[in-house]
Amino acid sequence: MELLKERILQEGQALSETILKVDSFLNHQVDAKLMFEMGTCFKKYFENHGVTKIFTIESSGIAPTVMTAMQMDLPMVTLKKQSSKILKGEVYQTTVHSFTKGLDYELTLSKKYINENDTILIIDDFLANGEAALGAIRLVEEAGAKVAGIGIVIEKSFQPGRAMLDEKGYDVYSLARVKKLGKGLIEFIEE
């Protein structure tokens, strides 16, 4: 998605070889028009995949996911990272390690928002090591549902997440694939 790549080059900050800060348009301040365009791209790619619901992990994936769900006229479900007293009991949970934050968290999905007849599209803001995506996949598959595919806003292609998901046979569609990061350096895979 050329518009996204342009915004990353204009406003993104490569803080290191692995950290890309895009908080001016994706996850602190949100550019709604850009999110709508992302939703359009995800809809075009996944509209014939039989999707019944769209899942994301709180919180940075919510904006592009809600725009995709709106355009596909499908329910959106947010997988929770924080424990909740009201979600106790009838939930699926799995432990996910966040390399960015250096901690583990319990990814939680209420059983009332998924069933074995669902075909789920998972959308997330970043793909690096693949831990968040694999956690979401575990929850979907534990419920007996099917994963239609995984939509990623920004993929760090130099990290192992994409290769791991490809190897397991998941359909991964990324809007921007970063080939290399360095202090002040951002390079994309041209497709």
**CATH number of the CATH domain containing 73:** 3.40.50.2020
**Is 3 inside any structural domain?**
no
Within-domain flag for 5: no
Q: What ranges in the chain are assigned the alpha helix state H?
A: 2-11, 32-46, 62-72, 131-142, 161-167
- Is 140 domain-assigned? yes
Query: Known binding site for xanthine: residues?
Result: 20, 27, 156
Annotated binding site: 20, 27, 128-132, 156
**How many domains is the chain partitioned into structurally?**
1
Rounded to the nearest 10 degrees, the angle between the axes of helix 2-11 and helix 32-46 is 140
Position 183 in a domain:
no
* Most distant pair of Cα atoms in the chain: their distance: 47
Range of the domain at 69: 32-177
> Is 79 part of any domain?
yes
Q: Is residue 13 part of a domain?
A: no
pTM of the model: 0.95
* Amino acid (one-letter) located at 137: I
- Tens-of-pLDDT digits for all 191 residues of the chain? 999 999 999 999 999 999 999 999 998 999 999 999 999 999 999 999 999 999 999 888 999 999 999 999 999 999 998 766 666 678 999 999 877 777 888 899 999 999 999 999 999 999 999 999 999 999 999 999 999 999 999 999 999 999 999 999 999 999 999 999 998 899 999 87
Is 103 among the domain residues? yes
Binding residues for 5-phospho-alpha-D-ribose 1-diphosphate: 128-132
Q: Has residue 134 been placed in a domain?
A: yes
User: What are the helix (H) ranges across 107-154?
Assistant: 131-142
